[in-house]
Each structure stands twice: as C-alpha cells, then as structure tokens.
Chain A
C-alpha cells in the first residue's frame, strides 16, 4: 500500500484559456505561474520547485531552465518536466506532492501551457497532425487515423458494439457536459445543446460527431503545492491531496487482450482506494479527462462506479448534470465544452469546487473529488483524489 502524501494545493492561476490569445506557450506558462502565486498570496520568489508538463506535440517547448529564468527564480530544489502525454498534469502534481511531503522542496509550481491555435487556421489543424511515424504504432497514419479523435473512435466503436449500445450514450455525455458549461463563464461553448443538436453535428470519426470532441484553446494553468502544515494559514482554503496514483497498463495488442478498452484507472483506483480507505461511493464528484466523450464512460467503469457497459447510467436523465440526482461529473464543462488544456482542465475545476468557489455551478457536496488524466490512447493514466479543507482539514 502506498503511504499517504502530506501535500495540499494552495494556489491556482491561469492565462488566456481562449481561442484568440496567440502569445507563445512559454509566455502563457510564465503568466499562469505568477497568477497562481498571487492567488496563494505569495511572492513568486517563494517558489522553490517547478514541474512543467507539456503536450508531446508542442512546437513551442517550455523548458525548465527557460521558465526558471523567465520567472526570475534562483536556487530551485526541483526543476523537472513531466511527460506522459495527457496524464502529465497529474503526474506533475504528484511529483510536486512527493517533493513537498518529504521536504525536498517547500512550494512547488506545476504548470501546463499550450498554444495550438494560430490566427486564421482551422481547429482541426491544431491536433490533426502527424507525430513521428515510427514502428508499429506509426501504422495508424498509414490507415488514415490522424488526430486523437480517430484513435479514440476505435475505442468508442468497440465499446458500443461490445455492449450493444447506441450513439445516444455518447450524446448524453456531450449534452450533460454542455449543461455544466452553460454555468461556467470560462467555458468555450455555453449555448445549451439538445440531443437533436448533437445528432445534427457532422461526423469527425465515427461514432464521434463534432460535439464528442474537445474544444482546443490557447492557455496555461498553474497550481502551487505545499506541505499540509504550511497550507493551513494560506490565503485560499487549502485543497489537500488525499491520494495520487498512476496506472499505465501496457496491454498487449493481440487476442485475449483488449488494448483499446483497457483503462489505467483500474490500477490507479486500486492504489488510491487502498491508501485512503475510500470507495467509489465516498466520492462526491468526478472531474474526468474528457478529450472525447467515450473517456468518462471508460473512467467510470475503471474506477468501479459501474460494471462494464453500464456507465451510461451515470448520465441517464441528466443525473450527472446540474440539478441531477446522481454524482456530478465534469462540472466546469470539461474538455468537451469548457476548454482543452489537457490534464489541467479537470484539476482546475476540482480546486474551484473544493474551495467552494465555483460560482453558479458550485455543488453542495464537493468534499471528496476524483480527478483523472488520460494520455496516448489510454496508454498513460494518472488519478488523484483531492478534498475540501472543510471536510479533510
């Protein structure tokens, strides 16, 4: 069993999170770290550790040394890049939590920045590009499977076929997530979405339509992590990290295995629930990585909220949406309707909910929150359970 961490999130900052700010990612990262320090009521110089997470597709790489110098920071005790694709944000916060728990550093900033959108360029050009085409994995491009949508569609298509489900289960995820976005002033798409609107959306990669795919933005999000005792007298209510775990399945791609449906959440769940003594029923809300609508369904099943093929029940009749009678999911509008800032999108919403600072969309019960990050084609996974100071302080 993993030992408990002694770490809390005390600062949250952001920059841009829109489709019009075309500053380079490095500058957005600098702005977000300064914003997180200000949020925590600390001078930037209080930061003694940096962990950068970045997209593997970044053309504008934010390097540790560059960011350290841009922020004017000296004598850092930690300066690291966490790189496991979409799971990098939680991996970076886990690295920070480990460092502060053991006293290797006191106040660590974790930042993700990306600027995929250029003025006048199409949205699909942001992510539909060819990564290095090497080895057997590179055959995806030979098969015409560019962009995340095409490979995640393979998971969705098989999931629906295996469980005899229709595309309406994906529609429910998109419609529910949009209902939350309508309550979030920072979300990209806030106009209510009906099932009819959903099915009128054009196909991107079947079964995914337009509304099954994330909304890319330019932006950066940073968080500040410190040891539990240091967090208590902060300006903001501390958000304790109750558990953190990674799970990278490495499932073989051959008969008797199902790589496209094997989700690392099962591994992370086992570790985090054992460490904390918590169970799915103790989780008040989930902030899932939802670059595509299939991801929350697979995460719900991997974490044991529902048996295989039944995760759609979480969304039935708006249960996971505003005012619903189930567990709230992706209360900020997620990646689908909020903004795609990879693993930091669910982190930001979890912090706001745990602080009781989520405005119109604040949920009554936000004491224990599960956050997930997925990377690659479910190759990388990281999970984290955070709490409110009120519940766990």
Chain B
C-alpha cells in the first residue's frame, strides 16, 4: 500500500516523532509551568525552555474536520472522501490527524488514537472513541 506523507522531525517535534515511530503518542510538559505541548522549543505560556516527555492518554475530541473530495496523493486514491481533522487531546494540545473507521464524525465527538507504524514511521490516526459512561 502507499503510505501518506509523514513529516520529517524538526527540533521542536523530534521527541514527538521519535515516540510515534516507536508506537507511542507523547507530549512535552513544561517543567516551569506544566503547560502541555506537542512540539515546542520555548513555552509560549511562561518562556520556559525545559520540558519532560510524557505519555499522552490517546483520548481526544474533534476540534474541526473536513471531508476532502480530491485525492492529491496516491495514498488517498480510491478512498474518497478523505476525512482529516484537528484533534484536541485530553491533555490540551491539538494536532492534524486522519479520522478513520466508522463515522460519522462531528466537531466535539470523542475519538481515540490508533497508531500505525509503516517502515519505521508512525502515523497517529483517530477513530470514534467510547461514548461517555461506556465501560472501559
């Protein structure tokens, strides 16, 4: 199968992609003020620049989404519309992510992370999560 483009890490996101490639979703917690980030060199909340890596819960809600009706990359050909969105993690930070599995999806829906690793590179996709009150 053709894999969608996966970004190269930059200094701010190196930890994020290294974790993802190892099958884990992680975030950076500011050591000064505890603000969570997915990628940061300086904390915008306090100017701090020291962080610790923390495993993310993988739970989140859809902040926004769109169904894209054109395939601009072979990885998405034959599976239109592509559903992509921005997911707000339970810890607070947001990221662009593919929305996979049974929908329909709407803004505010709970989703959970499903990591797929292709040739050593991880992709964080999100699928419909448990509804509130459902057993674990």
Asked if B65 CB lies within 8 Å of chain A CBs, one says: yes
The 4 A-B pairs at the shortest CB distance, nearest first, are namely: A138-B7, A143-B84, A144-B82, A146-B72
Tell whether, in the assembled complex, residue A142 and residue B5 are in contact, meaning their CB atoms are under 8 Å apart.
yes
**Which residues of chain A are within 8 angstroms of B106 by Cβ–Cβ distance?**
161
Return chain B residues, CB-CB under 8 Å to A138: 5-8
Max chain B CB contacts within 10 Å: which of A135, A142, A144, A146?
Answer: A144
What are the residues of chain B within 8 A of A143 when measuring CB–CB?
4, 82, 84-85, 96-98
Q: Interface majority SS on A: helix, strand, loop or mixed?
A: mixed
* List of B residues within 8 angstroms of A124 by Cβ: 70, 72
Q: B111 contacts the other chain (Cβ, under 8 Å)?
A: no
Task: State whether the Cβ of B19 lies closer than 8 Å to any Cβ in chain A.
Answer: no
- Chain A residue, CB-CB nearest to B45: A252
Give the total number of A-B pairs whose CB atoms are below 8 A apart. 149
Produce 1/0 per residue, A136-154, CB < 8 A to B: 1111111111110110011
Are A146 and B67 in contact, CB atoms less than 8 angstroms apart?
A: no
Q: A145-B84, A255-B88 are in contact. Are A139 and B68 (CB under 8 A)?
A: no
The tally of residues in A whose CB lies under 8 Å from a CB in B reads: 42
A157 to B63, CA, bound (A): 10
A144-B98 CB under 8 A given contacts A161-B107, A205-B69: yes
Contact (Cβ within 8 A) A142 B69 = no
- Find chain A residues with CB under 8 A from B68 CB: 144-146, 149-150, 153, 204-206
Using A140-B84, A141-B5, A144-B76 as known contacts, say yes or no to A253 and B94 having CB atoms under 8 A apart: yes
Residues of A within 8 A of B (CB): 124, 128-130, 133-147, 149-150, 153-155, 157-158, 161, 202-208, 250, 252-256, 259-260
Which chain B residue shows the least CB distance to A251?
A: B44
B35-70 with Cβ < 8 A to chain A: 35-39, 44-45, 63-70
A328 to B12, CA, bound (A): 44
Contact across chains for A260 and B63 when beta carbons are under 8 A apart: yes
- What is the interface size of chain B, counting residues whose CB is below 8 A from a CB of the partner? 48
Chain B residues packing against A (C-beta within 8 Å): 4-10, 12-13, 16, 35-39, 44-45, 63-70, 72-73, 75-76, 81-86, 88, 92-98, 106-108, 123-124
Report if A136-B12 is in contact (Cβ < 8 Å); known contacts: A142-B123, A154-B64, A161-B107.
yes
A-B contact pairs, 23 of them (CB 8 A): A124-B70, A128-B72, A136-B16, A138-B5, A138-B6, A140-B96, A142-B5, A142-B98, A143-B97, A144-B83, A144-B98, A146-B70, A154-B85, A155-B64, A204-B70, A205-B66, A205-B68, A206-B67, A250-B44, A253-B38, A254-B35, A254-B36, A254-B88
Whether B86 pairs with A260 at a CB distance below 8 angstroms is yes
Neighbouring B residues of A205 by C-beta, 8 Å: 66-70
Q: Which residues of A contact B72 (CB under 8 A)?
A: 124, 128-130, 144, 146-147
| A147 to B72 alpha-carbon distance, docked (Å) | 8
CB distance B64 to A157 under 8 Å? yes
How far, in angstroms, from A366 to B10 measured CA to CA in the complex?
A: 48
Return chain B residues, CB-CB under 8 Å to A202. Answer: 69
Chain A residues, CB < 8 A from B44:
250, 252
User: Do B36 and A157 have beta carbons less than 8 Å apart?
Assistant: no
Q: Which of chain B's residues have a CB closer than 8 A to the CB of A140? A: 84, 96
* List of A residues within 8 angstroms of B98 by Cβ: 142-144
Report yes or no: B86 in contact with A141, Cβ–Cβ below 8 A: no
Q: How far, in whole Å, are A136 and B8 apart by their CA atoms in the complex?
A: 9
Which residues in A have their C-beta under 8 angstroms from that of B123? 142
